[in-house]
Amino acid sequence: MYYLVYGLLYLLSLLPMWVLYLFADGLAALVYHVFGYRKKVVLDNLAIAFPEKTLKEREKIAKQFYRNFVDNFIETIKILSAGKKWLTKHFQIDGDPFAKSYSEGRKCQIHLGHNFNWELANVAMVHYMDYQLLSVYMPIKNKVMDRLFFHLRTKTGVHMLPATNMRNAIVPYRSQQYMLALVADQAPGSVTNAYWLNFFGKPTPFVRGPESGARVGNIPVFFSQIYKTKRGMYRAYFELGSDNPRDLPEGELTRRYIRFLENAIRKHPEMWLWSHRRWKHPWKDEYSQYWIDSEPVK
């Protein structure tokens, strides 16, 4: 089954982008208007994040989101047959933010969110730095799709580490100089093993892992924002979150990242993955010990 699915998608990936985008336009209309995939979740999330906007304004963002959502899927298929020339044309970075840390022999982390197109960023980033890139991923339950995405994500030399076995998976690399990419806007598996703080004015739990690992190794951390210059063309902006995370009070690195993430989303709201239930855990007073925000619960 894997080879059948891979073969069909690979053949599809050989089509020129203008043809693939025609298909994407039709699919996006079906997903939004006909199937309404998670439409209620998307609009509810947008109402929480942007209560000051009208329903019409939020629906406009939702439509743009669904177009980007489908484009993300189509562009990911294209990666199957894309070479370095295509990847570096469609994904570029601002400046050379990692040169100093690399020259000093230090490891680094990138904290990023679910901003389109993270799959393209993953395979293209290796062409812009000297680091060995390690990316943390969540295994897919469907074995065929898990194998397909693993192949796609590693085609340029990226080493993938399963989030479900992160502690053991990173052991072989501990003596190497690497860049570890972590999606830091994940909802935690347990709300009592999380950092809580205001996110778009609503108490929200975030995973502890990205900050914890950076503090243990005192690893420089960069925050990443992916934005689109035009359809199919992406750039990534990087900001140094901390050069020495161990010197920060616990929770401060996460606070900095969440503020960075929220500002990035406000600038380009159509670029974030609104279809996941970011605010599915209601706040309870018993979580007070996990509150790290400098501001009170809203």
Could you give the 3-state DSSP secondary structure of residue 161?
Answer: strand
User: What's residue 96's pLDDT?
Assistant: 84
pTM listed for this prediction: 0.93
Which residue, among 140, 132, 137, has the nearest Cα to 179 in the 3D structure? 132
Predicted local confidence at residue 247, as pLDDT: 96
CA–CA separation, 70 and 63 (whole Å): 11
Task: Write the CB contacts of 133 (distance below 8 Å, at least 6 apart in sequence).
Answer: 122, 125, 126, 157, 158, 159, 178, 179, 181
Cis peptide before 117 (omega within 30 of 0): yes
Looking at residue 278, what is its pLDDT? Answer: 87
Q: What are phi and psi of 72, to 5 degrees?
A: -60, -45
pLDDT along the chain (298 residues), means of 10: 93 97 96 94 97 97 97 97 97 91 95 95 95 94 94 96 92 94 89 94 94 94 96 96 96 97 97 93 94 90
